[in-house]
A and B are shown apart, each in its own frame.
Chain A
Amino acid sequence: MQLFVRRYGTLIGFVAILVFFSAVLPGTFPTARNWLNITQQVSMLMVVAAGMTIVMVMGDFDLSVGSAASLAGIVAALMMAAGQPIWAAVAVALLVGLLGGAFNGAMVSLVGILPFIATLATMTMFSGLAFVVSGGKTISGRAIPEDFGNFARGGIPLGEWGGVAISLPNLSIIAIVVVLAVWVLLEQTTYGRRLYAIGGNMEAAHLSGIAVKRLRLIAFSLTGLAAAAGGLMYASRVASANPVQGSGLMLNAIAAVFLGTTMSRHGEPRILATVVGVIVLGVLDNGLTQMSVDSYVRQVLVGALILLAVAASSVTQGRR
């Protein structure tokens, strides 16, 4: 029974939330349109949380993903404002994320700074950089090419449902592709296997011939890359960029991974569990907004729910 609560408590809670919202909001919540909408709302968080899962598999953290997302958005917007083509702006922004992540990885694995400290420092650095290069201003309006903003509004038409045309948003497609890529990486490749070994016992992994330093560096780079992708998606969705727009992503990404860990056997991060974690957060946000619950109250509720889920899974893990 206890084991059951530990493994499936979060899923049961999720179902309870779905039932509750469907009962309270029968006309607007359980509709295909709303669900497609949710997938779009959570797509940025999904991409960032998928990247976060990679470092958390090794038992590490990256607190800088929010700042990296903002910075990537700003860099792309500035380049587009300077008349560069969209593809170049996107490529450079992704490169900035990759390099920022590699910098984190170098601090953590080569220099040996605790991830918490190292990424706390780079979080401030990336945020500061975003302000410096943008002059603290929001870049929007004519500076952003229409095509860039249109991308987030577009999607693949799925037909009609209840007389309304619905489509799978482009941003959701990107999120799905990223999740699939991370799933393949973590679950199907020797690289993922080695990351899990590092997370389980770094010394044993090292003595088994795993290049711990190099793998950690690569993992942080990938997390940075995903953060930049999330930042670009955000910028496209609001057709503008400002130096703080990614700041909410970091805590939510870590919360989603943690929610996910409550569903795995030994509490290790799993990408598909992270997906559930992200959707739980997204559904809560969506439902509570529709019920016009005040956004501050929403924060309290979401925080309490995370505590509840993690507590339920640790209660049975053994008393100390």
Chain B
Amino acid sequence: MAPSVPLLSATSVTKAYAGVPALSGASLVVAPGEIHALMGENGAGKSTLIKILAGVVAADTAEITVNGERVSIDSTKAAYRLGLRFIHQEFNVVPTLSVAENIFMGRRYPRRAGLLVDWAELNREAQRALDRLGIDHIDPSQNLGALSLGDQMLVRISAALLDDAKLYVMDEPTAALTRDESERLFRVLREIRASGSSVLYVSHRLDEIMALCDKATVLRDGRSIDSGALTNITHDDLVALMIGRKVEEAYPKATAKPRETTVFAASRLATVGLNPVSFSLREGEVLGIAGLSGSGQAELIRSIFGDAKVTAGTMTLSGAPYTPSTPAAAWQSRVAYVPRERRAEGLVMRRPIFENITLAHLKRQSRAGTWLTPNREKRFAAELGANMRLKAVGPAQDVLELSGGNQQKVVFAKAVAGNPRLLLLEEPTRGVDVGAKYDIYSIVRELTAKGAAVILVSSDLPELIGISDRIAVMRQGEITTIVDAAGLREDDLINLCYGRATGMVA
């Protein structure tokens, strides 16, 4: 292949925040017409590099060229003019405006007589934008806030695809998407590549990257470790590149089999959005919950955690009736919870690590349940943190300053701190890098070895199969089947989620 001028080249990029280097001489070269993966653990510098390209953060040093011409990106406008489009994890949308208004935000609305907004035309154009992603289930005149997170992401992506840009930068675009939605997105990304534009794709999902991307650049500790085609490299090699050491297994093996004693049982448990379900969990057992998003998983977890009004049925914990009316009662019964959204539901971002960990256990972590004992709390937090390889300056550091994986470890530390009998996990490794994922799975294993039971809700199918002993499949608010995880294939699990016939006996 003849050496061509790269579409985008950023070399010798350095950036330090308050003296702490985030990038130290990273480089990234994207050719025209390719899908390029940007990989690395949380804290490797991916976000900083993207923010520099987007004109949000000013680099300390950087040489950036677009189509061979030296440019400086000093504002988001400059990035836009250069033909760069960004689709972020935390997308900026206005939930109270319609889908069409959100798609056309910052653009000129179609007008009638050059004055009045032509709403019908606006909705038609928005529908055309959605059509490109093959989306027919979203009404453009609907309020964006009424849509699921996945659908909101799809709207956001359609908006970015409206005008033909040179490079689309996507940060974890599939985090909230179902498999079908992801597939549709990938089709469009391939179309973009065929048209000569490029995509810079950031994701923790290696399978996606292997299937979708042509080339990859791996960042570690603010440096580009390697860059090359994805044709002659294995999954394990990539992981080793990212974390700088070999990982034998993605999931730590269970050291003990589930015991016979039942920890938790639900009998015809029901709430709004959850039809009566019955199941039981033994000591040391992990029950995975699979299903399309919105199939009743959240309702099930919230019922067990005392955050939803149980309308029918009963629960028992260690044989005794269990009727939590509040999350406080659940914690009191040693039922712990790792919520789906760590920033919105799990953490008080601007408070120290140790305060976050002891927040659910202040009664025991204080004198007479009233007087704070911060030094004892800090020692307790430091011990727990060290046990789960939490990377932080110390227990008094604000959670805000930690990387995503380490923030999630703080959420886990809070859950584990009370020595739970039952641990409820919702998407425990979303947006968490490979190394931290392994640490988190190890925490789960350690708990089950001590006899705790775990309910794991996850959309990450390999994770469900890798960690669970059994998997309950939920559809339309019901548990349709419970299968053994050992030997289960991903395809079979997907079919079960969709309620399609499979070759296997469930």
- Among candidates A187, A193, A204, residue contacting B346 with C-beta atoms closer than 8 Å: A204
| Contact between A208 and B350, CB atoms less than 8 A apart | no
Chain A residues within 8 Å of B346, by CB: 204, 207
Select which of B332, B345, B355, B363 is within 8 A of A197 by beta carbon. B355
Complex: A263 Cα to B331 Cα, angstroms? 36
**Known contacts A188-B371, A208-B414, A209-B330; A194 and B362 CB within 8 A of each other:** yes
Report 19 cross-chain contacts, Cβ distance below 8 Å, ordered by A residue: A188-B371, A189-B370, A189-B372, A190-B366, A192-B372, A193-B372, A201-B349, A204-B339, A204-B346, A207-B345, A207-B346, A208-B331, A208-B414, A209-B326, A209-B329, A209-B332, A210-B328, A210-B359, A211-B326
CB neighbours of A187 from chain B (8 A): 372
Q: Does A196 contact B (CB under 8 A)?
A: yes
A-chain residues with CB within 8 Å of residue B363 when the two chains form the complex: 190
Taking CB atoms, residues of chain B closer than 8 Å to A112 are: none
Query: Number of B interface residues, CB 8 Å?
Result: 31
Measured between beta carbons, the chain A residues less than 8 angstroms from B350 are: 200, 266, 268
Cα separation A268 to B372 with both chains bound (whole Å): 19
A209 to B360, Cβ gap below 8 A?
yes
* Chain B residues near A203 (CB-CB < 8 A): 344-345
Say whether B347 contacts A204, CB under 8 Å.
yes
Shortest CB-to-CB span from A124 to chain B, Å, is 30
Chain B contact residues, majority secondary structure: mixed
Residues of B with C-beta under 8 A to A272: none
CB of A200 within 8 A of CB of B326, answer no
Tier of interface size on chain A: 20 to 34
In this complex, the member of A191, A197, A204 whose beta carbon has the largest number of chain B beta carbons within 10 angstroms is A204
B337 at the interface (CB under 8 A from A): yes
Extra inter-chain contacts (16) besides given A190-B371, A200-B351, A205-B348, CB under 8 Å: A188-B371, A188-B372, A196-B348, A196-B351, A197-B351, A200-B348, A200-B350, A203-B344, A204-B347, A207-B305, A207-B307, A208-B331, A208-B360, A210-B359, A211-B328, A268-B350
**Which residues does A use to contact B, with CB under 8 Å?**
187-194, 196-197, 200-201, 203-211, 266, 268
- Chain A residues near B355: list those with CB within 8 A: 193, 196-197
B327 within 8 A of A: yes
CB distance from A205 to the nearest CB of B (A): 7
* Smallest Cβ-Cβ distance to A199: which chain B residue: B348
CB distance from A266 to the nearest CB of B (A): 4
B329 neighbours in A (Cβ, 8 Å): 209
CB neighbours (8 Å) of A205 from chain B are: 348, 359
Q: Which residues of B contact A204 (CB under 8 A)?
A: 339, 344-348, 359
Q: Is the CB of A189 within 8 A of B327?
A: no
Residues of B with C-beta under 8 A to A197: 348, 351, 355, 359
Chain B residues with CB below 8 A from A206, complex form: 307, 327
**How far, in angstroms, from A190 to B377 measured CA to CA in the complex?**
12
- Most chain A CB within 10 A, of B307, B362, B371, is at B362
